[in-house]
Chains A and B, each alone.
Chain A
């Protein structure tokens, strides 16, 4: 009788777990396994007709300078935009934490770039950067800084610098939100004690604010580096990967292989390689989370 009761409880437990498990398999497990499987095939994007090529796609990929160039561009883009996001985000969060006229309004407005759809943001920025009619060139020429329009998106390294800047503008509000929330929870008594001890504002920032922010910054850096690494729409819509292939990142390469060269298998292979690269920050994320939990931060 007791055993039967236990069996029913176990079944019920399994039943309750089942929806989560099924969703996990459908939404994560299946796409992951299917991507791995596809990366081992040569598959026509149109007909999905395929044949097994083993590691052939990976061999071709790793022997292709274009893949390594795209990887390098992805690293430059990720590092560049992330650094700028952190500088802008922390700076803005500190400004919004302090006494400021219309602070609530400013805190709301700072979210604007993050809320704006990427396609709209890109449209606005492309217009600002336009070689013939862009405001930036107009202003620079009017101020006598340059004699001729600057090719912001059509020369190297201007294109990468411009994309990095727009990426930083678009995504820095995330850093602001995270850092500002943490700033508000730092006990005021720490600053009062430091002031009594004669610590300068810079010393207070260095010895109190920064250590208190380290946990949240670690999480922000890890999450944003993962998101920036796989960013597609902003870079693609800004430059399409050009000029030449100077801003072609790995997500753009996936798109090209799968939907322009119609080789789904090679596209999947690039995506799987990306996943492998992303496992590094992903593993770091878990290590950091664990450390933070053990510190009780």
Chain B
């Protein structure tokens, strides 16, 4: 019987691997996700046949409760709230791994050092993922301030806590895993560290932290696999762990910063912007009517969306304007920066929701060489990712970050609520350029105003 279980687990792992592979193309992605969920169902059914399961009452309660909560959350959530939803699901994965390892340790305590070490690693990563994700959720949903939260001695405190955990963990393992106080101390500090390591991360660095937490949730499952000596958990956990790390790297690269810098620098706090020189020049506002005249004459339009588009829920209005411009004979492209928004691929999901064909979405590397041929570059709620200071001003805190070179377009229209600086806390040199015009107001209302101009 046990062999059959292992063979079924192997099939599940295969389904996950091919499922992820199919996720690499929009045409097969949905099938891939269904394949992967079939693999999960198989793993669940096979586990239920295990002779170790004696009591089904609690299982029914748990599965029904979890399914109802999960399904409702997945159905009801608005697409603009996707980042915080993903953070919450991540957190529940981490919590599950933590609890499973804790329960395994309680039910069958072992005096063996390695076994206890795996329990501690699993509990530690799981707890870190859980509270870290909760903080990320709070920041993304606006329930906590998005600015980095810094206090004196933050880094030494974290270091001290980590060293403390390592010391207590060694003592716990050497003591045969019998000391419950040590165990709870590690659990508590891990929960605390999840909070402490996430609060200094600012809003626009969230894509990195979401990807990293995703990786943690995989590693937690993997560690739990070692605790339970279960191969499917190890395979799957390490797959997810690796995928999260790759995504984290891609996000860091898109900001030209190291992971260490994202995690520890408190980037975007007020102190980071002190060195900035005052930018010379003048901001030139533009009205909806004048923007309409510019757009009407444009043959080539590039739209650069940012987090502001998500906040204003302007994606449908963006698409409507895009279609009108196309009907008017213009070529419309949507230039997507890899870290635009609050999670990897955030803008893509929103534009997909609004039915923008993905052929019109172009990556930064593709749009920059042709930016000079663009008549009007329409910037909707994006800021730091189009700041030319990143390329031109060596003293800028974001110097070296790859940007969408909007300033090279013939005319740049910046849609913005106010002159407030972007996440990095620095003025945007783009707004002061000769070819820039500022279109102030709520992005959605402004876009609807433009659409009305075209129709009227």
The answer to whether A and B interact is no
A interface residue numbers (CB < 8 A to B): none
B interface residue numbers (CB < 8 A to A): none
